[in-house]
Homo-oligomer: A and B are copies of this chain.
Amino acid sequence: MSGRDVADERERAVAAPPPADAGLVFIGLARTPWKSRMDCPRMGRPDGPLCRLEIFEPWTEALRTIALYERLEVLYWLHRSRRDLVLQSPRGGGEARGTFALRSPVRPNPIGSSIVRLIAVEEGALLVRGMDCLDETPLIDIKPDRCLYKPAGPPHPGDLQMESDATGRPVF
């Protein structure tokens, strides 16, 4: 189920509820040079190896105009990760950390995210640098990097909203 198979005594697994709150459709898969978890980089780098994001039908048309953006955010499904650890220990030792304080692939919803450089657009595929996942990892989303993106369409009232009220306290 996972690259890290056994929880040690500092780690904690929970009885996770069934993952039935929403369903994902895989929109494609990532072709990368890495065939085992231990070979993968722990985080992608912008000068990393060229990888191909292959998009399945009926989604290829959703790539139209993507060349406008030189950096993209990619979400993928870490399909070999266990999902029930709330505390995890680094392999090299050290204090156990909460799963939400880690970017480990082991998490309740094992979604990885990378910021990648778009190198080329092919028919139904993208060549990118910056991935860090196993070859044939399923893709779930691609979108422009937030820093490069200006929303289209008219402004919303919330766009410039800052403090919730004069006290700075939540209003909900």
Q: Which residue of B lies closest to A79 (CB)?
A: B22
CB <8 Å contact, B43 and A151: yes
- The CA of A160 and the CA of B49, in the complex, are separated in Å by 10
Chain B residues with CB under 8 A of A164: 33, 49-50
Determine whether A70 belongs to the interface, using a CB cutoff of 8 Å to chain B. no
CB <8 Å contact, A25 and B102: no
- The CA of A86 and the CA of B61, in the complex, are separated in Å by 6
Interface centre among A61, A91, A95 (most CB of B within 10 A): A61
Given contacts A43-B146, A62-B98, A75-B111, could you give 13 more A-B pairs where the C-beta distance is less than 8 Å? A33-B170, A39-B156, A40-B156, A49-B161, A49-B163, A49-B170, A59-B108, A61-B87, A64-B98, A66-B100, A66-B101, A91-B153, A109-B140
